[in-house]
Structure 1
Amino acid sequence: MSETESAKIAARLDRLPSSRALWKIIVLLSLGGLFEFYDLFFTGYVAPGMTKSGLFTPSSLGVFASLAGIKVAGFGSFVFSTFAGLWVGVVLFGQLADRHGRRPVFTGSLLWYACSTLIMAFQHTGEMLNLWRFIAGVGFGVQLVTIDAYICELTPASLRGRAFSINQFVSFCVVPAVALLAWVLVPTVPFGLDGWRWVVLIGSAGAVVAWLLVQRVPESPRWLALQGRVQEAKAITVEIERRVEAETSTTLPTPHVEPVQDDGEARFVEIFSQRYWPRTLMLSVFNLAQVIGFYGFAAWVPTLLIARGITVTHSLEYSFIIAIANPLGPLLGTVFADHFERKTQIVLGLVVMGLSMLEFAHVNSPAVLIALGVVFTLAANIMSYAYHNYQAELFPTRIRARAVGFVYSWSRLAAAFAGLGIGYFLDLGGVLAVATFIAIAMLVGIVAIGVFGPSTKGVALEHISH
């Protein structure tokens, strides 16, 4: 029964046209997910303030000082704690959304993030700062896995590309905002509280506001139908249809139902089954590779600019200018996201990232350096929205969150150590060595997706997963 009803619900959702009602849901979900980006990107900007507070001396770090054995020292321990928390979140708790629903896990992770970050902002030793950073990372690691599954399941097949591009546009709008906040606040001590603490607290307060907004987002009807909660799934679908018809003043076409088997027991080991293991391996390798370029540049851009001869003051200014480009890549994607294969967009993004990074290592003009930084950022964020969509499409609803969590976890693990690699190559051979390292990683990602990735454009989720 759940299989039949799930097929009917899927068909009804996939025949919905573009409408304000649908985009409102996507924007609300995106606002909820915005703070994962805020949190990740404030990491590099608050570093000087945290270091000035004396939080990263060996005595302050306590047990975290032992990370020096793997060459993780000082502020690097904070970065390591961030991505270690993300990794634990996506690996151990990503499955919660498959078991308990997209909505409760998504909203719960927002509260988790808000509370743990609030506590983190008032820590006075590096040891406790890193502990609460790890705990916060677990929370928003779960959130990111859930939001990909959520958007994928609520959006019609013909609009999935645009949905993810708008999601990432909203999320990346926070990057220049956090860069500006850090620029203004970190050097100051408003009301006797270190500026970096205010940057953290603003993120925590914003997450609470986002939690209030996403209370208006419905549960995934696809997930409900698979759990046998058919009446709830129908009620949500009917309400969405009613709003769309009222807005567009048209009668929706009759849904074309094609029953697809998707009612098996949800088990983690299924991602290694004969049907899915090639996709699991492909996406795991891709995630290991892409994060080296994505965060390798974003987190190190001020340092890389200094290495190209730019002063510290100007490097922060230029970094802010480059940061402004972050939301523009996904915004451009709204024009073509559903017109080209997702894998094609990912591959082209990786190509541009690799080439622009190699050129970045050879030029000295500040204007050209900024231009190349903007090009790299645009390509990286087009690649980002496309692959978040792509990896959520490749697995069935019953295991989507845990599958995305597993393959995405490799990017979190790689990010925890990518900074070590960037630092090593920068010391070994300057920006050219870093650029070569990133370009090779991009080539690995290109081969993984370009050679082994299936096509998904305009295809129903239930068909892609088979």
Structure 2
Amino acid sequence: MQNAQATIPNIPAEITVRIDRLPSCWVFWRLIALLSLGGFFEMYDLFQTAYLSPGLLSSGIFHAGAKGLFGLTDQATFAAATFAGLFIGTIVFGSVADRFGRRAIFTISLLWYTAASLAMSMQNTSVGVDLCRLIAGIGIGVELVTIDAYISELAPRDLRGRAFAVNQSIQFAAIPVLALISSILIPNAPLGIPGWRWVVILGASAAIAVWFIRRSIPESPRWLAQQGRFDEARAAIAGIEVRVEAELGHALREPVPTASEAGGTGKFSEIWVPPYRRRTWMLMVFNFFQTIGFYGFGNWVPALMASKGANVANSLQYSTIIAFMYPIGPLLCLAFADKYERKWQIVTAAIGTASFGLLFAQQSRPGMLIVFGMLITLSNNLLSYSYHAYQAELFPTRIRARAIGFVYSWSRLSTILTSFMIAFFLQNFGANGVFAFIAGSMLMVVLSIGIFGPRTAGLALEEISH
């Protein structure tokens, strides 16, 4: 560790090479798992739209038919409220993690959404439920941006793809958990309390784990160095190195000098100057369209199943089976996460989502609906892990969180509209119309990333930022 300080006088560059020399070991993966655990509760909350709607309908809080906002369903309004909150969280508050640090905002945003979710579990009107979802969505939006920045800065260059794959697997494990709990609780009323309220309360119990998670995670050494807090940055990376060397039983290899970034506090205007301007526009287009495929299917699985003839109970059961692909898919990606260019993984995933979606729309037998539903989910898994890693790589540390927040906000804006568009296509054109809409959106993903996306595989974050 002393050699690194002696041979690399630029402290941000020193921190970079000390991070990039870290090997794959339990200490590193434990940090990724702890960060991802915060995201687990976010995903549990985020995907409630599909699973809570039947319970809210049976409780009389939601109503069947086009009785919600803009004459569409209450489910569409519920989903729109969620993503309106996410939009506000990412575009308005996305920069707070650049200003106050990854660790503090990671904790505060988790507590924020937990409080809002508990409040939602006590509501008796659709307006009250939607308002609480809006507020909870703000916390989720900030949290997800912070986790992406955090992981990209803690992961060595050769492990960055796998780190995001593991992160996504742990986060997405919340979806089958949510589906299973929902299938058990929502048709019932334990202790006389409607099942949908229990589902929300269980997710909000994330607050119990927050303080344990927070104590075990250091602040991002890269962020500390960029803020000029050099002693704290060195102390943070030294703490990780000591634990890694204790696990390995020998000293870490000598660091190799690499490029460094400009220090100081970044400004939002930086994303509009070369080389970031082109990346910003590309990711704005990409995020607007990618979320149509991801949430257009994920948030509407039970409704899509019902449109193919399944009753409420069966649609929830089929959705639960499909949901088990969410944590499995990213684990399969571990085999190639850091071997192939991220941009081509995104393109491949988009083609898969479009193709399998169109085939799903042609099925009527439960077995085939489940098979193609699982294949769509697998493609969406590949898309999600790869783009979360990719967009976090394309901006420097000083503006990473606000840049991710801004480009990511376009996916949230899109999903507000998508909630109503999916409802419109489903009501008027059935599953065929829904998946034609999704396929067109995936074509835009292929074109934007395939043509304009820079290469990032095997490069340090500081090299990519130049």
TM tier, smaller: over 0.9
For 2:210 and 2:383, the matched residues in 1 are separated by 26
Q: 1:387 to 1:272 in 2, by over 3 A?
A: same
Q: Give CA deviations for 1:142-175 in whole Å, capped at 9, x if unaligned.
A: 0000000000000100000000000000011111
Local SS of the residue matching 1:335: coil
2:57 counterpart residue number: 51
Conserved? CA contact 2:165–2:337, under 8 Å: yes
For 1:458 and 1:259, the matched residues in 2 are separated by 14
1:73: how far off? Answer: 4.4
1:264: how far off? Answer: 5.0
Instruction: Give the letter for the 1:39 counterpart.
Output: D
1:53: how far off? Answer: 2.4
Q: 1:99 to 1:387 in 2, by over 3 A?
A: same
1:251: how far off? Answer: 2.0
For 2:208 and 2:301, the matched residues in 1 are separated by 30
Conserved? CA contact 2:228–2:263, under 8 Å: no
Instruction: Give the letter for the 1:292 counterpart.
Output: I
Q: Give CA deviations for 1:245-288 in whole Å, capped at 9, x if unaligned.
A: 11112321211223423225411111111321110111111111
1:190: how far off? Answer: 1.4
Q: 1:270 to 1:354 in 2, by over 3 A?
A: same
Conserved? CA contact 1:4–1:259, under 8 Å: no
Local SS of the residue matching 2:187: coil
For 2:120 and 2:226, the matched residues in 1 are separated by 39
Stretches of structure 1 lacking an aligned partner (at least 5 in a row): 59-64
2:193 counterpart residue number: 193
Instruction: Give the letter for the 1:245 counterpart.
Output: E
Conserved? CA contact 2:49–2:75, under 8 Å: no
1:31 to 30, 37, 42: 37
1:148 counterpart residue number: 148
Conserved? CA contact 1:32–1:214, under 8 Å: no
2:373 counterpart residue number: 373
Q: 1:138 to 1:190 in 2, by over 3 A?
A: same
1:131: how far off? Answer: 1.6
2:92 counterpart residue number: 92
2:306 counterpart residue number: 306
User: TM-score, normalising length from structure 1?
Assistant: 0.95
- After superposition, residues 218-257 of structure 1 pair within 5 angstroms as 218-257=218-257
1:269 counterpart residue number: 269
For 1:328 and 1:171, the matched residues in 2 are separated by 11
Q: Which moved more, 1:264-273 or 1:447-456?
A: 264-273
For 1:400 and 1:385, the matched residues in 2 are separated by 17
2:434 counterpart residue number: 434
- After superposition, residues 343-362 of structure 1 pair within 5 angstroms as 343-362=343-362
2:113 counterpart residue number: 113
1:282 counterpart residue number: 282
How many aligned residue pairs are there? Answer: 458
2:400 counterpart residue number: 400
1:308: how far off? Answer: 2.3
1:124 counterpart residue number: 124
1:44: how far off? Answer: 1.2
2:214 counterpart residue number: 214
Conserved? CA contact 1:110–1:211, under 8 Å: no
Instruction: Give the letter for the 1:41 counterpart.
Output: F
For 1:440 and 1:271, the matched residues in 2 are separated by 28
Q: 1:71 to 1:189 in 2, by over 3 A?
A: same
Conserved? CA contact 1:325–1:377, under 8 Å: yes
Instruction: Give the letter for the 1:217 counterpart.
Output: I
1:76: how far off? Answer: 2.4
1:119: how far off? Answer: 1.5
Q: 1:309 to 1:227 in 2, by over 3 A?
A: same
Local SS of the residue matching 2:47: helix
1:62 counterpart residue number: none
Conserved? CA contact 1:114–1:208, under 8 Å: no
1:418 counterpart residue number: 418
Conserved? CA contact 1:32–1:211, under 8 Å: no
Local SS of the residue matching 1:46: helix
1:456 counterpart residue number: 456
2:12 counterpart residue number: 6
1:61 counterpart residue number: none
For 1:348 and 1:40, the matched residues in 2 are separated by 25
Tell me the percent identity: 50
Local SS of the residue matching 1:457: coil
Q: 1:189 to 1:176 in 2, by over 3 A?
A: same
Q: Give CA deviations for 1:123-152 in whole Å, capped at 9, x if unaligned.
A: 222222222211111111100000000000
Q: 1:302 to 1:30 in 2, by over 3 A?
A: same
Stretches of structure 2 lacking an aligned partner (at least 5 in a row): none
- After superposition, residues 171-186 of structure 1 pair within 5 angstroms as 171-186=171-186
Q: 1:211 to 1:350 in 2, by over 3 A?
A: farther
1:310: how far off? Answer: 3.1
For 2:205 and 2:242, the matched residues in 1 are separated by 34
1:363: how far off? Answer: 2.4
Q: Give CA deviations for 1:179-207 in whole Å, capped at 9, x if unaligned.
A: 01111111222122211111000011134
Q: Which moved more, 1:185-194 or 1:322-331?
A: 185-194
Q: Which moved more, 1:126-135 or 1:154-163?
A: 126-135
Q: 1:315 to 1:263 in 2, by over 3 A?
A: same
Local SS of the residue matching 2:334: helix
For 1:301 and 1:126, the matched residues in 2 are separated by 22
User: TM-score, normalising length from structure 2?
Assistant: 0.95
1:79 counterpart residue number: 79
For 1:318 and 1:52, the matched residues in 2 are separated by 20
1:222: how far off? Answer: 0.3
Q: Give CA deviations for 1:220-250 in whole Å, capped at 9, x if unaligned.
A: 0000011111111101111111111111123
Q: Which moved more, 1:5-14 or 1:243-252?
A: 243-252
